[in-house]
Amino acid sequence: LGTAAAWTPDDAGVALTGARTAGLTEPVQLVPPTGDADLWRVQEVRRSWTPGPDAVSVDAATGGVVQTLPFSDHPLAARLTDWGIRLHMGFLFGLANQLLLAAVAAALVVVIVRGYVLWWTRRPTRTGGPARPPVRGALLELLRRRPAGTLVGVAVVAAIGWAVPLLGISLAAFLVLDAFLGLAARRARG
């Protein structure tokens, strides 16, 4: 980072006027010049329902726009990252986004509570050792009864596993371990 250049409030006004002329809409963030250059960076502040923040560099001496950086010129990965962060924080679609995030949080609480209820019903008891394990082949039976819905569900889980690699790797490891235990049990039965 360079040292802060001397600037006045009038320079900020000139930079803001230049940014408005370039098409930026408020609210904006003004970054004063650093070093020898007399360029102000003006960037739109993220708002709901907008594709992303545009930015310009404005010469405070003339008010002319020296450089523009529209959000549409960002690489795809940068745009997806920006959208993902804004979606995750509830900024992308305003109240609708926040309600969706609240619903996801509530669903997560329900899944956690349901997991404990399932564990409680299958817990080991004092009278007879461990509870009966789940029946093998349930996914294949579901595929036979409802093929379209099952294939869609498997595709969604695979896509999420690909998008979130740590989840995908742990899920794949679980499936491999479960298949190995199933083969071992089948061989033990004869």
Four-CA torsion 26, 28, 32, 37, nearest 10 degrees: -80
Whether 147 is in a domain gets the answer yes
pLDDT band at 10 (very low <50, low <70, confident <90, very high): confident
53: CATH: 3.10.450.40
Among the three residues 21, 48, 74, which one is the final residue of a domain in this structure? 74
Residue 57, classed as helix, strand or coil, is: strand
Whether 96 is in a domain gets the answer no
Distance CA 159, CA 164 (A): 8
Whether 33 is in a domain gets the answer yes
Work out the angle at residue 52's Cα, subtended by the Cα atoms of residues 15 and 49, and round it to the nearest 5 degrees. 115
Give Rg (Cα) of the chain. 28
**152-166 pLDDT per residue, tens:** 999 999 999 998 899
Whether 104 is in a domain gets the answer no
Q: Residue 55 pLDDT > 60, yes or no?
A: yes
Based on the structure, what is the number of domains in the chain?
2
Could you tell me what percent of the chain has a pLDDT over 90?
24
Whether 106 is in a domain gets the answer no
Conformational region of residue 129, where left means phi above 0, alpha means psi within -120 to 50, and beta covers everything else: left
pTM for the predicted model, two decimal places: 0.50
Domain span at residue 190?
135-190
Angle between helices 165-189 and 147-163 (to 10 degrees): 130
Whether 60 is in a domain gets the answer yes
pLDDT band at 103 (very low <50, low <70, confident <90, very high): very high
